[in-house]
Amino acid sequence: MSESIDTQYRAGIELFNECEFFEAHDVWEELWSEYRGKDRTFYQGLIQVAVALHHFGNGNIRGAKKLYNSSRAYLDPFRPKHLGCDVDLLFVEMEECFGGVLAASEEFPRVDLDPELIPEIHLDEEALATARAASAEE
């Protein structure tokens, strides 16, 4: 993992954890658009998680549900952890956060985002260092 990729990855996580989902999406999308390695799909999944939360916060429940589902499809191959991100924990927190969205059967449901249930990404620095070392050997 190059230093600029690491910087963008971390910057996106910081914005995400500050609930700046659209801004996190922008940072990760820039990274994703220039990146051609094996982690490209992982970054795309993070982008979709951020956009799902952005839509949820803005009341676009249909868009939030669609991106929730596609983000899981992109991130599932990277379980349980990838690049220091506990993908399994992110899935659990997303399921809790999106519970009302997923349960809604109406075409245009009204579901409020509970600030207490918004997921965060906490990097496992040891796992990230291992991933960096493995990437440097490739």
User: What is the pLDDT at residue 1?
Assistant: 55
Give the chain's domain count. 1
Residue ranges of E strands in the chain: 81-82, 85-86
Work out the average pLDDT over 10-29: 97
The boundaries of the domain holding residue 27 are 3-137
Q: What is the DSSP annotation of 13-34? A: HHHHHTT-HHHHHHHHHHHHHH
**Residue 83's domain is classified under what CATH number?**
1.10.3450.10
Work out the average pLDDT over 22-32: 96
Tokens 């040891």 label which residue? Answer: 126
pLDDT digits (tens, 9 = 90+) for 69-110: 999 999 999 999 999 999 999 999 999 999 999 988 877 778
Q: Are 21 and 51 in contact (CB under 8 A)?
A: yes
The answer to whether residue 136 scores a pLDDT higher than 80 is: no
User: What is the pLDDT at residue 104?
Assistant: 85
Q: Are 81 and 124 in contact (CB under 8 A)?
A: yes
